[in-house]
Amino acid sequence: MNKIMNKIGNSNILFSLMAILAGLLVGGVIMAITGQNPVEGILGLLKGGYLTSYAIASTLTRATPIIFAGLSAALAWGSGYSSMGAQGQMIIGAITAAIVAPRLGFLPPFLAVIITLIFSMTAGALYSLISAHISAKYDAYLLIVTLMFNYLADYLASYLTNYVFLDPVALDKLAIQTIKIEGSILPRIFPRYTTHYGFLIALIAVAATAFIINKTSFGYKARMGGLNAGFAEYGGIDSRKTMYKVLLLSGALAGLGGACEVLGTKFRYVDKMITSPGYSWSGITASLMSNYNIIGVLFSSIFLSGIAIGGSTIELSMNIPSEITQIIQGVITMLVTAKFVIRWHRKENGRKEAETK
């Protein structure tokens, strides 16, 4: 019995669950302070995110870009590189898709979509490679470089949308967006629900990333570098090469995520479509919640997407601003990184107990 408890106690799942609980608690307290009914609010949040077939479909739709960002982050952070670049790479992937896809109308839709996705992946990967190179060559903080590149990507996409590829006949004159993609899109899986084939691509990406990380020698090198850089160096793993490969792949995943968002939900690039929902940050949170476990990223992403969807629901039905979910997510993130110490403390205590016995 004790042994089982220990196993659970040591598992990430319990800590993530505790962090989630604490996050919801803080969310509830804030609702209460600001004069809302916290119980109804939290229940509404969960119901709106998970408990109806419509909610589940919306959750899975929104989870799609988060899964890609989460994979991208899990790959980079799990290999020891704290890249914040998923956002910029997603934007680059998205704008690439919005530019390429409408020009492939002459191809059968299936082929056009595949080619678009390849373009977006390549664009995301290259964009990631630039920041990787600057960071490696000039010892600049990867964190800062990738953050700056996020802003630059946002401006670049905005420029392209505004001045080069703006939809001239946009119905809503205030919207800054590219022309609508006809035909070569990712269709819905079930006509009644928004979930599109991008979600299936995300599932395939999860499987592929898990395979690469766990079953290939490249994945082995990346993992070992993340767990103990000294061990990797001692074993003859070229850390520079691994870094480039890891960040290339992580950029490709993010780019793919951006493309799926364009081809599956918006059918065009709309200014700030990646930045405002905070997909990238949710992805990083998801990867931290699962301690960089690839399969775990899938479930954490769906969870985070669910509370975001729930947040929009309660905003409409109960007039609670949906940003409450960002606060909940922030609390979860802070607690999952603090968890390492809590665990360490306990182990230390355990050791002391063992010694006194």
Partner 1 sequence: MIFEWSYISAIISSTLRMCSPILLCSLAAAICSKAGVFNIAMEGCMMVSAFFAIVVNYYSGGSVLLAILAGILSSMLISAVLAVLIIRLKASPVVAGMAINTMSGGLTTYLMYVFFHTKGLFQNPTLNGLSKLTPFFASAFPELAQMFYGLTTVDYLSWIIAILVQIFLYRTVIGYRIRAIGINPEAARSLGTPVEKYQFWTMTLSGIFCGLAGVLLSMGSVTLFIQNITSGKGYIAMTANNLGKSHPLGVAVASLFFGACQSLGSFLQQAGLKGQITGSIPYAATVLASVVSSIRYRRQKEKKIREAISEN
Partner 2 sequence: MILEMKNIVKTYGKVVANDNVSIDLNEGEILAIVGENGAGKSTIMKILYGLEKPDSGEIFVKGKKVSFNSPLDAMKLNIGMVQQHFMLFGPMSVTENIVYNNEVSRRGFFDWKGNREKVRELSGKYGLNVDPDALINDCSVGTQQRVEILKTLYQNADIIIFDEPSAVLTPGEVDELLSTMKNLAKAGKSLILITHKLNEVMEVADRVTVMRSGKVIGTVNKKDTSTDELSYMMIGRHTSQLNIPDMKTGKRLLEVEHLSMGSALGKKVLNDVSLHVDAGEIVGIAGVSGNGQSEMIRCITGLEKQYEGKVLVCDQDVSNQGVSIIRKAGMSHIPEDRYLWGSAREASLSDNFLMGEEDSDAFSSHGILKQKTIDRHADRLIDEYAIKTDGCRQKMKELSGGNAQKVITAREIERDCPLTIACEPTRGIDIGAMEFVHERLVNKRDNGGGVLLVSSELSEILKLSDRIYVMYEGHLNYEFRHGEVDDRKLGRLMLGGKADE
Q: Footprint of partner 2 on this chain (CB under 8 A)? A: 215-218, 220-221, 223-224, 227-228, 230-231, 233-238, 355
Applying CB under 8 A, what is the total number of residues that bind partner 1? Answer: 45
Q: Which is nearer to partner 1, 199 or 303 (CB)?
A: 303
163 binds partner 1 (CB under 8 A): yes
* Smallest separation (angstroms) from partner 2 to the CB of 294: 16
Residue 1 CA from chain centroid, whole number: 37
User: Residue 323, interface with partner 1 (CB under 8 A)?
Assistant: yes
Neighbours of 209 (CB within 10 A): 25
Q: Is 178 left (phi over 0), alpha (psi -120 to 50) or beta?
A: beta
User: Distances in Å between the alpha carbon of 217 and those of 220, 238, 242, 253?
Assistant: 5, 13, 11, 19
For residues 6 and 303, the answer to whether their CB atoms sit within 8 Å is no
Minimum distance from CB of 15 to partner 1 (Å)?
Answer: 13
Q: Is 231 in the site for partner 1 (CB under 8 A)?
A: no
Q: Is 349 in the site for partner 1 (CB under 8 A)?
A: no
Instruction: Tell me which of 113, 284, 294, 304 binds partner 1, using CB under 8 A.
Output: 284
- Say whether residue 212 binds partner 1 (CB under 8 A): no
The phi-psi region of residue 292 (left if phi > 0; otherwise alpha if psi is between -120 and 50; otherwise beta) is left
Are 213 and 224 a contacting pair, CB within 8 Å?
no
Among 6, 10, 11, 34, binds partner 1 (CB under 8 A): 34
Residues 6+ apart with CB under 8 A from 269: 94, 95, 97, 98, 99, 157, 161, 165, 177, 178, 262
338 binds, among partner 1, partner 2, none (CB under 5 to 8 A by kind): partner 1
Q: Which is nearer to partner 1, 120 or 280 (CB)?
A: 280
Helix axes 324-356, 12-33, angle to 10 degrees: 130
Look-up of token digits 């600001």: 34
In the complex, minimum distance from the CB of residue 169 to partner 1, in angstroms, rounded to a whole number: 22
Count of positions (residues) in the chain = 357
CA angle 252, 299, 125 (to 5 degrees): 5
Q: What are phi and psi of 182, to 5 degrees?
A: -105, 135
Q: Pick between residue 182 and residue 348 the one whose CB is nearest to partner 1.
A: 348
Provide the 8-state DSSP code for 263: I
Residue 331 interacts with partner 1 (CB under 8 A)?
yes
Would you call 139 exposed, middle or buried from its count of C-beta atoms within 10 A (0-12, 13-18, 19+)? exposed
Whichever of 265 and 285 has its CB closer to partner 1, that residue is: 285
Contact of residue 58 among partner 2, partner 1, none (CB under 5-8 Å per partner type):
none
Q: How far is the CB of 281 from partner 1 (least distance, A)?
A: 5
User: Are 129 and 247 a contacting pair, CB within 8 Å?
Assistant: yes
* Interface with partner 1, residue 21, by CB under 8 A: no
Q: Minimum Å distance from CB 267 to partner 1? A: 23
Residue from 107, 118, 143, 170 binding partner 1 (CB under 8 A): 143
Minimum distance from residue 260 beta carbon to partner 2 (Å) = 27
- With CB under 5 to 8 Å by kind, the binding choice for 228 among partner 2, partner 1, none is partner 2
Hey, what long-range contacts does 213-220 have (CB within 8 A, 24 or more apart)?
213/75, 213/78, 213/294, 214/294, 218/242, 218/245
Q: Which residues bind partner 1 (CB under 8 A)?
A: 30, 34-35, 82, 84, 134, 138-141, 143-145, 147-149, 151-152, 155-156, 158-159, 162-163, 278, 281, 284-285, 288, 321, 323-327, 329-331, 333-334, 337-338, 340-342
